[in-house]
Amino acid sequence: METKRSQMQLSFGMIFSIILIVIFISVAVFAIMKFLDIQNSVEVGKFGNDIQEDIDRLWKGSQGSETREYSLPKKITHVCFIDYNSEPKGEFNLIYEDLRQEFFEFENIFFYPIGSGEGLNSKEIKNIDLTKITESENPLCITNTDGEIRILIKKNFGESLVTVGRA
C-alpha cells in the first residue's frame, strides 16, 4: 500500500518577498510616526513665535486687549507662566518645583507635563510684565482644551509691558 504525502513548499524567493514586505511596512510605520513627532515639534515652535508676535504687536501700541487662540499638541495639558523670582502660590503651586528643571535663566513660559513640548519645554517671552501676571497665581497655568489654548493678551494705557491671562 502506497501512502502519498503532500508537502507544502515555499520557494526561497517567496520567503524573501514576505520578509521584504514586512520590512517595508515596518519602515513606513516608523517614518510616519517620526513625521507626526516632527509635526508636533513644529506646532510647539509655531505657538512660541505666534504668541511673541501678538505680544510684540500689542506692546508697540498704546493700549489694547485681545483674546487669541493657539494650537498645541494635545499631550501638552497646560501652558504656564512662572516667575522664579517669587514664591509659588495659587492652584498650580505644586508644579512650580517640577518645572524648575526646565528653567535655565530667562525662561518664563513652560509646557506641562515636562517633556510634552517635544524638546521645547520652556521659552522666554519678551515684553510681558511677569510680576503682574503672577501676582495672584504663580505659576499661572492655562489649560489646553482639545489642542486649543485661549489666552487674553492686554496692555492698559500708560503701562510699558503686556500682561497675559486666561480668556
In a domain, 91, yes or no: yes
Rounded Cα distance, 48 and 94, in Å? 24
pLDDT value at residue 120? 86
| Non-local CB neighbours of 52 within 8 Å, separated by 6+ positions | 125, 126
In a domain, 158, yes or no: yes
pTM greater than 0.95:
no
Sign of the dihedral defined by the CA atoms of residues 114, 79, 144, 95, in that order = positive
Per residue in 134-166, pLDDT (tens digit) is: 999 999 999 999 999 999 999 999 899 999 999
Neighbours of 113 (CB within 10 A): 14
Q: Which three cell numbers stand for residue 8?
A: 507544502
Q: Which domain holds residue 150?
A: 12-166
pLDDT value at residue 15? 86
Name the pLDDT band for 78 (thresholds 50, 70, 90).
Answer: very high
- The number of distinct structural domains making up the chain is 1
- Over residues 33-51, the mean pLDDT reads 89
Per residue in 81-138, pLDDT (tens digit) is: 999 999 999 889 889 988 888 888 899 999 998 888 878 889 999 999 999 999 999 9
Sign of the dihedral defined by the CA atoms of residues 79, 154, 53, 39, in that order = positive
Task: Look at residue 12 and tell me whether its pLDDT is greater than 90.
Answer: no
In a domain, 137, yes or no: yes
pLDDT value at residue 9? 66
Single out the residue of 121, 131, 125 nearest to residue 151, CA to CA. Answer: 125
Place of cell 523670582: 85
In a domain, 4, yes or no: no
Residue pair 92/78 in contact (Cβ under 8 Å)? The answer is yes
Task: Look at residue 6 and tell me whether its pLDDT is greater than 60.
Answer: no
Percent of the chain with pLDDT over 70: 94
In a domain, 71, yes or no: yes
Residue pair 138/82 in contact (Cβ under 8 Å)? The answer is yes
Task: Look at residue 5 and tell me whether its pLDDT is greater than 60.
Answer: no
Distance between start and end Cα atoms, the chain = 89
In a domain, 130, yes or no: yes
pLDDT value at residue 162? 95
Single out the residue of 128, 116, 52 nearest to residue 78, CA to CA. Answer: 116
Task: Look at residue 14 and tell me whether its pLDDT is greater than 90.
Answer: no
Name the pLDDT band for 36 (thresholds 50, 70, 90).
Answer: confident
pLDDT value at residue 3? 58
